[in-house]
Amino acid sequence: AQSVTQPDIHITVSEGASLELRCNYSYGATPYLFWYVQSPGQGLQLLLKYFSGDTLVQGIKGFEAEFKRSQSSFNLRKPSVHWSDAAEYFCAVSNDYKLSFGAGTTVTVRA
Amino acid sequence: DAGVIQSPRHEVTEMGQEVTLRCKPISGHNSLFWYRQTMMRGLELLIYFNNNVPIDDSGMPEDRFSAKMPNASFSTLKIQPSEPRDSAVYFCASSLAPGGSETQYFGPGTRLLVL
């Protein structure tokens, strides 16, 4: 069965600093991988997704993620964090239609 | 595009009452999903419809939960009778088609509190 692990429950980062959120997946075949962001009181918004091709994926809001098959990882990065990036981030893996989400990582941005 | 529309945004009810959550998917999307988000269990898929037909309802917690999709532009999730442990945020999502690479677009959610 597919599953996702996000090892970090909470990360605090200074505004302007870089951010990396970890995601490890378990899936038998080539995975479809997603990163979503959830701002307080809001729904989930897709940041980026990977399903084939270039292993470095560019997304919205300046985010990127790198798929590493050998490490079963799909880590999310942003070079310079803005205060508006404070939110909860979810990594997900898809099998056909079913999205399985990680537990999420809450990002706090300090001034 | 208006995105996925859910109503109500907030619902407070008493134990034993019937609760109906509503969803309008993005026009032209053929797949619709209901998810539940809780602190304990995270985001869970409750039920998946394709072309208005329920395909996978294995995530529906018990018989108190039911979902319908009478047409391509409307779906309901009903809880009868409601219990305090049903308190959660319920999300509706839609995608253009089934398939692992398809993006699911989420609505803003309905925050349900059962007292």
Task: Give, in order, the Cα–Cα distances in Å from B76 to each of A2, A65, A68, B88.
Answer: 28, 35, 40, 16
**What residues have CB less than 8 Å from A53, skipping those under 6 apart?**
none
What is the C-alpha separation between B108 and B9, in angstroms, rounded?
8
Q: Which of residues 58-77 of A touch B (CB under 8 A)?
A: none
* Percent of chain A's residues with pLDDT above 70: 99
Per-residue model confidence (pLDDT) at position A2: 83
Q: Which of A27, A30, A67, A97 to mutate to test the interface with B (most CBs of B within 10 A)?
A: A97
What is the C-alpha separation between B28 and A14, in angstroms, rounded?
42
What is the C-alpha separation between A96 and B102, in angstroms, rounded?
9
A94/B48 Cβ within 8 A: no
**Confidence grade of residue A1 (pLDDT, cut at 50, 70, 90):** confident
The dihedral region occupied by B100, where left means phi > 0, alpha psi between -120 and 50, and beta the remainder, is alpha
